[in-house]
Amino acid sequence: MGGVTGDRGELRVDYVPDGEMNETMRADKQALQEVCFADVPVEELFETFVAEPIGSVLAWSGEEMAGYVSVFTRSIVFKGQLVRLGGYGGTCTRADLRGQGIGARVCGVAMETLHAEGCEIAMLAVDKDGSTNRFYERQGYRVLGRPFEIVTAKGQRISPDDVAMVAPVTSDDIFRRVLADTRPLFLGPDKGYW
């Protein structure tokens, strides 16, 4: 395992680069994902959630996976300027362990990872019902307040139904300019989002 690690009590939280994920980790993550995101339509997984993570933050309670988040980076062009964008997606805590700060710790390590990766700003997508807004606001994210656009697996440019939230990582300036802009935030040319 590598990257940023945090420890408190019996919970272990590790950032694991994708190349260091073993079969057990992948299987445990997949099993948790199926429980946490059972309501996500399969076609969305194949058409829009197609970005490849650079790694995952995994939380372990003893031998059992308690939570995870997938970490992403890419470059986008914002107002003619190349911007290093990071983010994380699929935040998930085992249902019986929620409300104990595991999600916050996992996201905290993900933000440290984005910092170490040299990302200038971070973006994530939430449901438009707003139920997780406060959770991510505590991680420094703010609602973008306008649509974002992505390139689908088939190469179409679309505006997903989700709401984008953005946070500063190494650049407050770019963060402020992205928030102040009025045009949809384009996450291409890389395909998909998280």
Ligand X SMILES: CC(C)(COP(=O)(O)OP(=O)(O)OC[C@H]1O[C@@H](n2cnc3c(N)ncnc32)[C@H](O)[C@@H]1OP(=O)(O)O)[C@@H](O)C(=O)NCCC(=O)NCCS
Residues that bind ligand X (CB under 6 A): 36, 67, 91-93, 98-104, 126, 131-132, 134-135
78 vs 193, beta carbon nearer ligand X: 193
Smallest distance from ligand X to CB 44, Å: 13
Smallest distance from ligand X to CB 41, Å: 15
Helix (H) or strand (E) holding 150: strand 148-151
80 sits in the region (left: phi over 0; alpha: psi -120 to 50; else beta) called left
**One-letter amino acid identity for 137?**
E
20 vs 60, beta carbon nearer ligand X: 60
H-only helix segments in the chain: 23-36, 42-47, 102-116, 133-137, 172-180
56 vs 93, beta carbon nearer ligand X: 93
87 vs 168, beta carbon nearer ligand X: 87
Are 104 and 110 in contact by the 8 Å Cβ rule? The answer is no
Smallest distance from ligand X to CB 138, Å: 8
Count of helix runs (H) and strand runs (E) in the chain: 5, 11
The C-alpha atoms of residue 149 and residue 140 are separated, in whole angstroms, by 22
Smallest distance from ligand X to CB 77, Å: 26
Smallest distance from ligand X to CB 35, Å: 9
54 vs 59, beta carbon nearer ligand X: 59
Angle at 51 between CA 47 and CA 57, to 5 degrees: 130
